[in-house]
Chain A
Amino acid sequence: MGEHGVATSSPTRCAGKSVNHGKIPGGTLAAARVLFLASVFVVCLGMESPAPAANPLIFAVHPYLPATEVLQRFSPLADYLGRYIGRPVRIRVSTSYEDHVALFGEGEADIAYMGSASYVKMVKRYGVRPLLARIQTYGTPTFQGIIIVRDESGLLVAKDLKGRRFAFGDPDSTMSCLVPMYMLREQGVALEDFASYKFLSNHGNVALGVLSGDFDAGAVREEIFYRYEKRGLRELLRTPPVSEYLFVADSSLLPDTVEILREALLGLAEKEEGHSVMKSLSSSITGMVPVQDRDYDDLRRILERMEWPGIAP
């Protein structure tokens, strides 16, 4: 019967499926025949049962910019990753930095784009995760924060900031809050020295807040400074460089999936499409580089010191 099945089945998969039938005991022969014929019918009509739609990968991004802008910027990357891995990738913009850390830490997202400080916080709270890549801006995988003031402002040194109104981004932001705050403290300007200070949730708000005169100074990452510089900003101070934002994978992802995602990200700079994807993220991004947890040790030390009494906000 088996031989017969082989002989009469149409080519392609019909043959493959029929091979096992040779060993089916005689009692189940009739049932096997029905099954076999059914399978032949299905295959020969070219109607393979459709594969269940792959679960989308959740890609969480912290709200370092207004949510619409984040979505606009990350969509090409999500599309690219989706095509690369063969599963749709859906972007989810967290409501705050804090929320972002919690969301990813508790496994509600498969991939996350994280600010450096958020990452350190996440590891401290939830433990290590597979790392995918970190961005390279202006040719280096590190970035700096800048204390900005208005062009015409008379502020020249750190001490001048005493008694002034200061704008921070999110309290958990690396460069619009934590590292600049640490640096200012090192230079003798503590939070209580400001006349007032406020957290404006993202970098853009800090730049515009200072420009519109509601704040005398503020802290942003360098890329934001360069974007708003022409509209009337001046650099007052510059923080030491810190390892860049990074892409992290959830531990629940299969090692192969992680490897493919890493390959997709690291290979961006070598593809023509990759360049437009990176350009969409930010014009300052020049590539993706491998990343290790120890790249964030310097920042980790800073943040640990921030937790000492009197420093953390």
Chain B
Amino acid sequence: MNSLALFSSRRAAIAFILVLLLFFLLLDFFVTSSVRTRMLDDLQQRFNTELNTIGLFVREPLISSDYARVEQFLLKWADEDAGIVDMKAIMPNNFVLARYNRPELSSKTVYLEHRVRFLEKDLVTIILSRDVSGQELIIRNLRLKLAAGSIVITAFLGLVLWGMMKKTAFQPLQNELDRRKKDETVLREARDELEDRVRERTKELNSKHEALQKSEERFRSLVETTSDWIWEVNENAVYTYSSPRVREILGYAPGDVLGKRPFDLMPEDEARRVERIFRDIAASRKPFSWLENININKKGHNVYLETSGVPVFDDDGRFRGYRGIDRDITGRRESEKALRDSEERYRTLAEYSLFGIWQITPEGHTLFINPAMCRMLEIERADELTGVPYNSFFTEKSLETVKEEYRKRLAGKASQYEVELIGKKGRHLYVVLNGAPLMDAEGNLQSLIGTFVDITERRKTEQALKESEQYLRTIIETEPECVKVIAQDGTLVTMNPAGLAMIEADSLEQVAGKSLGHLLTPEYRERFHSLNQSVLSGNRENLEFEITGLKGGRRWLHMHAVPLRTAGGDIIGVLGVTKDITDKKKAEDKIRLSEEKFSKAFRSSPTFITISTLDEGTYIDVNDAFIQASGYTRAELVGHSALELGVWVNPSDRDEMLSRLREQGSVRNMETRLRMKNGEVVTVLYSAECMNIERRPCILSVKLDITGRKMLESQLLHAQKLEAVGQLAGGVAHDFNNVLTAIISNGYLLKGRLKGNDEAGALADRIITLSNNAARVVQELLLFSRKKKVEMSFVHINEVFRGVGTLLGDFMGRGIEITERYTDRHLYVMADRVQLEQVIINLATNARDAMPNGGRLTIETNLAVIDSTFIGKHGMGSQGTHVLLAVSDSGTGMDRATVERIFEPFFTTKEVGKGPGLGLSIVYGIIQQHRGFILVDSKPGQGTSFRIYLPLAEPGAGR
């Protein structure tokens, strides 16, 4: 009733306060809204005024087109007024004259726009965003204050009103309620206490009864189930109670023993001993325990019992006998005996064992040590160990090993391990230790026992062996040559790093157990196989072969292989030591190739190559080209010197060559002349190098025959000269011809006008005749210079000669015999027949003049094949089949200088007036125009022979 009223009155109070609070908050809201509106209005007003002022300010410069100033002013203004967030000045054409933007954007802005105008015309529009967050902040603060104030006022007013109401309306009711509640409480407490007491008493009684029952039962089952025999005797030591266990222990029923004395169940001696002891105990009426005695069970064999007892007194305190238990310890007795026997056996074993045996307590004190162990520790007797800690016999490292192994053993991993001991006298000993902890029945560590086997000698041997093996391994590993072992089946057993590098294997695993035969180039595989077989049958072998490495590299290797034998001498594999001889091979190949190249070059070179000694110039070797050109046989040259054979036309050239060789180490392109066996002289470019053959200084000389080239050069020079002269003459002749034509025509005109005056007419005739002569010379010059056109046709060469030949008889005059030798073949040339006839006549004229006292003129035609040899020899001509026309005389002949100039125009050896000296020039010109060439062979007193070669033409081929 009371709490309900309290609750409803509290609810009324809360509602009351809420209404009050709502009223105040609404009031706050209206107040702040009106303040805010007024503030913003004020601000807007101020900003507009400011903008108006700005507008007024920028109007003037805008009218006077001072835009830059306006822009600068606006930007500066915007920058300095921190309230401006964004400002834009927009011209009437929407061009933004100035733009300002403050990056720290505010969420609360007001937007303003002002248009600057002048005479009804827009000048600029300024658009502005202004930050009013400051004002908002003021409003917010105000609102917060009002809200806080409202809450405080509401709380205060509410509490005051509540207090007043409580005092006047609720207090009397409350007092009545309190009194009733107190009475009720007192009554309830009295009843509760009563109930509790009854409950407790009942519980107590129940539990006592139960305990009694349980105790009885426990005792009975204890007596029944215990393995011990429980008995009671009276003051005369006669059994008054026996538990059923006596049946199992002594074979009697409990009833059988009642009335008997314990001594009745023992052998006689034992009964006497026990009775005496028991009498003393009983006299003192003290409890006794663990009295050992032997009884005889019903079947007649001994049973060992352990007896304990306590005296029994009646209620009056009088001694009434003993109550106790007997425990059968026959099993324990027997096993103790067996243990003793076993211990004895082991002790004997330990005494005579060769192994050291050492038993220590967990604290490290020696329990047992056998003589072998004493020897190891260098002590005489076990008692020498007293006070000596066991660990003083171990090296520090060994101690750690021991501890480590002990931990492992506890974890179930037992092993033998090697440790180092130090004897009492300082001797170091290596032993194999096999240790074990000895535990008691509860699993507590009782002692530690270890057996020690001395392996010092073995260890030393092993160490020496290991060192020697390591030494050998180091040698093999660092050996720069490949060392490998191949098994009998041909597979690789092992290989050192140098070997792996040779076959380009990354590791031994990559190749071990495999045959390496496939790495060899096929032609060596068979030989490699038979080498292995031979070595396996006990021979030592060597082989050079080529391999392709696992990564494709090719190598030449040299392998020396010997049989690998066991200690017993059985061959178990091949031990091979292989050397990389690639570089050597390459060098050899290079030398061989170089020698071969040189030898081939030497033999086959068309230039003359000789090797001769430096001092005497004796030929050691000469090449085929030189043998062929010199006309000597190899035997005539080798072993003889060039000086001796007269090869040097000018022996001083050799001295010069030698001096150049000494100064410059080599001679290059020295021009010199050599004489061949037939006396012919050839011009060569001589180059030489020094070389040593079998430690003798020698000269390797190369001679390039340039005789042909020399001749060609001189012929070319000659032809060019004639060409030049011809062009010159031709040019002059042309002009001259025009002049002569004019003279001749004027001569005729003059002659016509001089009719009647014979003398003067004759003079005019003479002018005409002489001019015509001159014109003919000019024509001939033109012919020479090939400015005159020729009319080509197929011409049978013999016919031309025959035609002219008949004329020649009269022309040559008496005393000159003409021999004509024409070929039987029908040979044609493309030629101007008239001009060819001219050639023959001119040559015949020349021959006649050369034979003033008569002689023989020979004319012949033949077929001639011109090859490179011909061209090389004469320095002119073109390859192919030609027609040869030869005109030879037996006249006075010419010297070399004359021969060289005979084709030049106006060159003559005849007296003045015997012709202009154009005859042979014309011949030259005509033959040139016919793409032929002329050879002249002449010697003073031996006559002259002109040989003309014209290209052979095939009639029909061109038609």
Whether A204 lies near B91 (C-beta < 8 A) is no
Q: B residues within 8 A CB of A204?
A: 67-68, 71
* 20 A-B residue pairs with CB within 8 Å: A66-B68, A68-B72, A167-B65, A200-B65, A200-B66, A200-B67, A204-B68, A204-B71, A205-B65, A205-B66, A205-B67, A209-B65, A211-B91, A211-B97, A212-B92, A212-B93, A212-B95, A213-B91, A213-B93, A214-B91
Give 20 A-B pairs besides A69-B72, A200-B65, A213-B95 with Cβ atoms closer than 8 angstroms. A66-B68, A66-B69, A198-B65, A201-B66, A202-B68, A204-B67, A204-B71, A205-B66, A208-B67, A208-B68, A208-B71, A208-B97, A209-B65, A209-B67, A212-B93, A212-B95, A212-B97, A214-B91, A231-B96, A232-B95
B743 to chain A, nearest CB (A): 72
The complex places the Cα of A200 from the Cα of B63 at a distance, in Å, of 11
From B68, B72, B95, residue with most partner A Cβ within 10 Å = B68
Considering the complex, give the chain B residue whose CB is closest to the CB of A204.
B68
Verify if A260 is at the interface (C-beta below 8 Å from B): no
Nearest 10 CB-CB pairs, A to B? A213-B93, A208-B67, A204-B68, A212-B91, A200-B65, A212-B95, A211-B95, A205-B68, A205-B67, A66-B68
Mark each residue of chain A from 185 to 222: 1 if its CB lies under 8 Å from any CB of chain B, else 0: 00000000000001011101100110111100000000
Verify if A65 is at the interface (C-beta below 8 Å from B): yes
Considering the complex, give the chain B residue whose CB is closest to the CB of A67.
B69
Q: A residues within 8 A CB of B65?
A: 167, 198, 200, 205, 209, 214
A71 to chain B, nearest CB (A): 12
Among B77-122, those with CB < 8 Å from A are: 91-93, 95-97
Considering the complex, give the chain A residue whose CB is closest to the CB of B89.
A212
The complex places the Cα of A198 from the Cα of B71 at a distance, in Å, of 19
Chain B residues with a Cβ closer than 8 Å to the other chain, count: 13
B72 to chain A, nearest CB (A): 6
The complex places the Cα of A167 from the Cα of B92 at a distance, in Å, of 18
Among A162-203, those with CB < 8 Å from B are: 167, 198, 200-202
Considering the complex, give the chain B residue whose CB is closest to the CB of A201.
B66
Q: B residues within 8 A CB of A66?
A: 68-69, 72
A93 to chain B, nearest CB (A): 14
The complex places the Cα of A204 from the Cα of B97 at a distance, in Å, of 11
Q: Which residues of A contact B (CB under 8 A)?
A: 65-66, 68-69, 167, 198, 200-202, 204-205, 208-209, 211-214, 231-232
B889 to chain A, nearest CB (A): 91
Considering the complex, give the chain A residue whose CB is closest to the CB of B90.
A212
Whether A65 lies near B92 (C-beta < 8 A) is no
Considering the complex, give the chain B residue whose CB is closest to the CB of A199.
B65
The complex places the Cα of A50 from the Cα of B95 at a distance, in Å, of 59
The complex places the Cα of A279 from the Cα of B318 at a distance, in Å, of 133
Q: B residues within 8 A CB of A232?
A: 95
The complex places the Cα of A232 from the Cα of B68 at a distance, in Å, of 16
Considering the complex, give the chain B residue whose CB is closest to the CB of A232.
B95
Q: A residues within 8 A CB of B71?
A: 204, 208
B96 to chain A, nearest CB (A): 8
Q: Which residues of B contact A (CB under 8 A)?
A: 65-69, 71-72, 91-93, 95-97
Q: A residues within 8 A CB of B91?
A: 211-214
Q: B residues within 8 A CB of A198?
A: 65
Whether B67 lies near A212 (C-beta < 8 A) is yes
B551 to chain A, nearest CB (A): 59
B922 to chain A, nearest CB (A): 76
Q: B residues within 8 A CB of A201?
A: 66
Considering the complex, give the chain B residue whose CB is closest to the CB of A211.
B95
A265 to chain B, nearest CB (A): 27
B88 to chain A, nearest CB (A): 13
Q: B residues within 8 A CB of A202?
A: 68
A231 to chain B, nearest CB (A): 8
A42 to chain B, nearest CB (A): 51
A228 to chain B, nearest CB (A): 10
Considering the complex, give the chain B residue whose CB is closest to the CB of A200.
B65
The complex places the Cα of A66 from the Cα of B68 at a distance, in Å, of 7
Q: A residues within 8 A CB of B95?
A: 211-213, 231-232
Whether B92 lies near A213 (C-beta < 8 A) is yes
From A66, A200, A208, residue with most partner B Cβ within 10 Å = A208
The complex places the Cα of A210 from the Cα of B95 at a distance, in Å, of 10
Considering the complex, give the chain A residue whose CB is closest to the CB of B69.
A66
The complex places the Cα of A28 from the Cα of B72 at a distance, in Å, of 70
Considering the complex, give the chain A residue whose CB is closest to the CB of B124.
A212
The complex places the Cα of A22 from the Cα of B72 at a distance, in Å, of 69
Q: B residues within 8 A CB of A68?
A: 72
Considering the complex, give the chain B residue whose CB is closest to the CB of A203.
B68
Whether B68 lies near A65 (C-beta < 8 A) is yes
A250 to chain B, nearest CB (A): 30
Considering the complex, give the chain A residue whose CB is closest to the CB of B98.
A208
Considering the complex, give the chain A residue whose CB is closest to the CB of B72.
A66
The complex places the Cα of A82 from the Cα of B244 at a distance, in Å, of 134
Q: A residues within 8 A CB of B97?
A: 208, 211-212
A168 to chain B, nearest CB (A): 11
Q: A residues within 8 A CB of B66?
A: 200-201, 205
Q: B residues within 8 A CB of A65?
A: 68
Q: B residues within 8 A CB of A231?
A: 95-96
The complex places the Cα of A232 from the Cα of B95 at a distance, in Å, of 9
Considering the complex, give the chain B residue whose CB is closest to the CB of A69.
B72
A154 to chain B, nearest CB (A): 15
Q: A residues within 8 A CB of B72?
A: 66, 68-69
The complex places the Cα of A205 from the Cα of B62 at a distance, in Å, of 10
Considering the complex, give the chain A residue whose CB is closest to the CB of B93.
A213
Q: A residues within 8 A CB of B69?
A: 66, 205
Q: A residues within 8 A CB of B67?
A: 200, 204-205, 208-209, 212
The complex places the Cα of A68 from the Cα of B72 at a distance, in Å, of 9
Considering the complex, give the chain B residue whose CB is closest to the CB of A214.
B65
The complex places the Cα of A68 from the Cα of B91 at a distance, in Å, of 24
The complex places the Cα of A167 from the Cα of B93 at a distance, in Å, of 17
A213 to chain B, nearest CB (A): 3
B938 to chain A, nearest CB (A): 84
The complex places the Cα of A89 from the Cα of B803 at a distance, in Å, of 120
Q: B residues within 8 A CB of A214?
A: 65, 91
A165 to chain B, nearest CB (A): 11
Considering the complex, give the chain A residue whose CB is closest to the CB of B76.
A68
The complex places the Cα of A204 from the Cα of B61 at a distance, in Å, of 13
Q: B residues within 8 A CB of A208?
A: 67-68, 71, 97
The complex places the Cα of A201 from the Cα of B69 at a distance, in Å, of 11
The complex places the Cα of A232 from the Cα of B97 at a distance, in Å, of 11
From A200, A201, A212, residue with most partner B Cβ within 10 Å = A212
B606 to chain A, nearest CB (A): 68
From B67, B71, B92, residue with most partner A Cβ within 10 Å = B67
The complex places the Cα of A204 from the Cα of B75 at a distance, in Å, of 15
The complex places the Cα of A308 from the Cα of B522 at a distance, in Å, of 105
A108 to chain B, nearest CB (A): 26
B118 to chain A, nearest CB (A): 13
The complex places the Cα of A202 from the Cα of B95 at a distance, in Å, of 19
The complex places the Cα of A200 from the Cα of B62 at a distance, in Å, of 11
From B69, B72, B92, residue with most partner A Cβ within 10 Å = B69
B74 to chain A, nearest CB (A): 12
A138 to chain B, nearest CB (A): 23
The complex places the Cα of A132 from the Cα of B667 at a distance, in Å, of 71
Q: B residues within 8 A CB of A213?
A: 91-93, 95
The complex places the Cα of A230 from the Cα of B332 at a distance, in Å, of 117
B121 to chain A, nearest CB (A): 11
The complex places the Cα of A212 from the Cα of B61 at a distance, in Å, of 14
The complex places the Cα of A231 from the Cα of B69 at a distance, in Å, of 17
The complex places the Cα of A41 from the Cα of B855 at a distance, in Å, of 142
The complex places the Cα of A213 from the Cα of B68 at a distance, in Å, of 14
The complex places the Cα of A213 from the Cα of B72 at a distance, in Å, of 19
A171 to chain B, nearest CB (A): 14
B513 to chain A, nearest CB (A): 75
Q: B residues within 8 A CB of A200?
A: 65-67
Q: B residues within 8 A CB of A209?
A: 65, 67
Considering the complex, give the chain A residue whose CB is closest to the CB of B99.
A231
Q: B residues within 8 A CB of A69?
A: 72
The complex places the Cα of A198 from the Cα of B93 at a distance, in Å, of 19
